[in-house]
Amino acid sequence: MDERYLHILNKDFKNYSKEFCVNFINSLSGFKSVNLCGTSNKDGVSNLAIFNTIIHVGSKPPLMGMLVRPPVVQRDTLVNIRETKYFTLNHIHQKFYTRAHQTAARYEIGKSEFEVVGFNTYYTDNCKAPYVAESEVKIGLKFREEHEIKSNCTILIVGEIIEVMVPKNAVLSDGLIDLGITKTITSSGLDVYWAPTKIARLSYARPDEDINVIG
């Protein structure tokens, strides 16, 4: 074994502290998409929470997924989605990532993180959940299905995209969104935030054809 590498087997994790294992496993998958999820309860009280478990599910129909921690305690986001069937995902800008991180705090039930942290709500006629007005990329979703991950009881929420708001100058002619223009950040682990820099955009990969830089 190369001495430069730490070699950990599954059985070895019991020898490390809980903090080490949580940080290690959470950062192991690499950089992750991080968004603010906006919801409201049946009485219209808004809720905002940061999630780094957002995944692309499909383009036709346009679907996105979000993993929610096991509901062993009150999970306002999960409860609100189940009640109202709507939620929003809002990109986090470099200028307000500290406030976004603060939404992870466990505020009492019924207290809106929008108000506590200092974000403004924005509503449309198409989506019953609140958007973060300050976000450059806003995605409205309607609940479609949920699945329990049997291995650890986390919940996968699947939503269909019903509307999107994004700066016109950030959308390229072929539909690609330039996240450099929107200043969207990414994350690793539970508490590290990054401002990504594009290396290159490459041509479509085909057998026996060279890869070219196209942007």
Q: Could you say which DSSP state residue 14 is in?
A: G
CA 109 to chain CA mean position, Å? 22
What is the Cα–Cα distance from 66 to 26, expressed in whole angstroms?
15
Q: Are strands 86-91 and 138-148 parallel, antiparallel or unpaired?
A: antiparallel
Q: Where along the chain do its domains lie?
A: 30-194
Average pLDDT along the chain: 95
pLDDT of residue 137: 98
- Residue ranges, the chain, pLDDT below 70: none
pLDDT of residue 201: 94
Residues 6+ apart with CB under 8 A from 8: none
Q: Are residues 103 and 49 in contact, defined by beta-carbon separation less than 8 angstroms? A: yes
What is the Cα–Cα distance from 15 to 102, expressed in whole angstroms?
31
Is the full-model pTM beyond 0.75? yes
CATH of 30-194, one of 2.40.50.140, 2.30.110.10, 3.30.470.10, 2.60.40.3080: 2.30.110.10
pLDDT of residue 109: 84
Q: Are residues 26 and 189 in contact, defined by beta-carbon separation less than 8 angstroms? A: yes
What is the Cα–Cα distance from 198 to 215, expressed in whole angstroms?
10
Task: Identify the H or E element spanning 202.
Answer: none
pLDDT of residue 74: 77
Q: What is the pLDDT of residues 108-164, one digit of tens each?
A: 888 999 999 999 999 999 999 999 999 999 999 999 999 999 999 999 999 999 999
164 closest CA partner among 196, 135, 121, 143: 135
